Structure 1
Amino acid sequence: MTESDSYTGAVSAGGPPDIRELAALTIRKVAVDPQMSNNCYLLTCRATGDQLLIDAADEPAVLLDLTGERLQTVATTHQHWDHHRALRDIVLATGATTVAGAPDAQPIAEQTGVTIDREVGDGDTIAVGDCVLRVIAIAGHTPGSIALVYDDPDGHPHLFTGDSLFPGGVGNTFGDDAAFRQLIDEVETKVFGTLPDDTWFYPGHGGDSTLGAERPHLAEWRERGW
């Protein structure tokens, strides 16, 4: 089966998920919390039915309805409170294994009361049934932020960036110049420097984009400092 062409990535809190069917993997994107409008992504292996949820951000009932309570893994992209408010409820309901970037694992555990079962870093992999995602550690927005890339053997890569990369710029570094330099350096070298222009990326809030659409603006982002 080829990739479906109806997916846009445009979702809103309270609305239905947008669904992308790849040959081996189904991606469901849903927004939760009207104020923060966090994106959550459910990835399902088409061969085995195994599932990975990226960011249990809020509204556990919505997420459990999406997963069908058949969830093997929850990956948290970073330690900020708005990305893991439903983590405890999701884990209690499903028994899913928890994953986070090593530097952010303890803060997430302290904030949620949920132990992080697996701490990951650059080059580690996370299996979703027969599919595999690779971890890219991207410090700057938080010390342990991670992005996850699925190198679709039948198409282009799919990159889940948390709050490290958005259409129009990198994530917020809250006026910390050193953190901004670290973030844009790592995004430029680890993301734009290793992945092709047709990589579709899925951020923690708002709409999606491709690396090709954003690449011409890297120097502009660096110059403006945010």
Structure 2
Amino acid sequence: MTGPGPTPAARPGGPAVVRVLDELVVSSLCVGPMENTAYLLTCRASGTQLLVDAADEADRLLALVRASGDGLATVVTTHRHRDHVGALAAVTAATGADLLVGSDDADAVVASTGVTPRRRLVHGDAVICGHVTLDVVALRGHTPGSVALAYREPGDAREPDAVAGRAHLFTGDSLFPGGPGRTTSRADFTQLMDDLEERVFARFDDRTLVHPGHGAGTVLGAERPRLGEWRARGW
């Protein structure tokens, strides 16, 4: 149990950090030499599972899947970088899970992993995990097809980790504590900042929990006052 605040960083080689919400169990696991955080979402009503980023260490990810629910139905890849897809082929082969990935990153993911996506995601799409719906938020800039997933807790939350109506964002490498993810040009940085401001900070309130692709989480309220600073520094 993690409490209502930001999710602490899972430790390399350590056990999953588990957050129990009313509709979902969110288990985060640190994998691979880049210390990626993979998130396993388990629908409490159905046992259906969705994995955000099959990044590395397929054996540990599969062990978490087996221990946590009734079967992995979907893998969502937040973006095409190799450290986020290292275990994708092995995990989908072992589970039969469908791959979903941002449309503009899909060809690169196929080329590097050999896994063909069932869906190429665009901004505003919905992804279903059992009885739970997550919204797709395209955050272009770190890569052209980077996507985040947004989940909002129900209004009558009861679990100790839960907060009624609070949103959760699984942001890949597009947003971290302290700023946006790395970009390779000023145009890409501007695009990412535009998307973050318009699609994240303008839409979600300060309670929103950010679950990034590496390290500890944050809340939007801690990051919002620094948007102007990020713009000015250019990274």
TM score, norm. by length of structure 2: 0.92
Alignment of 1:105-124 (within 5 A): 105-124=106-125
CA contact (8 A) 1:202 1:208 kept: yes
Partner SS, residue 104 of structure 2: helix
Matched, 1:62 2:57: no
Runs of 5+ unmatched residues, structure 2: 158-163
Alignment of 1:27-42 (within 5 A): 27-33=26-32, 35-42=33-40
The range that moved more, 6-15 or 149-158, is 6-15
- Structure 1 counterpart of 2:161: none
Matched, 1:167 2:182: no
Shift of the alpha carbon at 1:6?
A: 7.4
Q: List per-residue Cα deviations over 1:8-46 (Å, max 9, x = no partner).
A: 42211101110000001000001001x300000000000
CA contact (8 A) 1:9 1:29 kept: no
Of the three residues 194, 204, 212, the one matched with 2:213 is 204
Determine the C-alpha separation between the residues in 2 that align with 1:10 and 1:106: 31
Q: List per-residue Cα deviations over 1:83-117 (Å, max 9, x = no partner).
A: 00100000110000110010011110111000011
- Structure 2 counterpart of 1:177: 186
- Structure 2 counterpart of 1:11: 10
Determine the C-alpha separation between the residues in 2 that align with 1:142 and 1:65: 30
Aligned partner letter, 1:88: A
Matched positions, count: 222
- Structure 1 counterpart of 2:160: none
Alignment of 1:76-115 (within 5 A): 76-115=77-116
CA contact (8 A) 1:4 1:22 kept: no
Of the three residues 40, 44, 50, the one matched with 1:52 is 50
Partner SS, residue 170 of structure 2: strand
- Structure 1 counterpart of 2:231: 222
Runs of 5+ unmatched residues, structure 1: none
CA contact (8 A) 1:106 1:116 kept: no
Give the superposed CA RMSD. 1.3
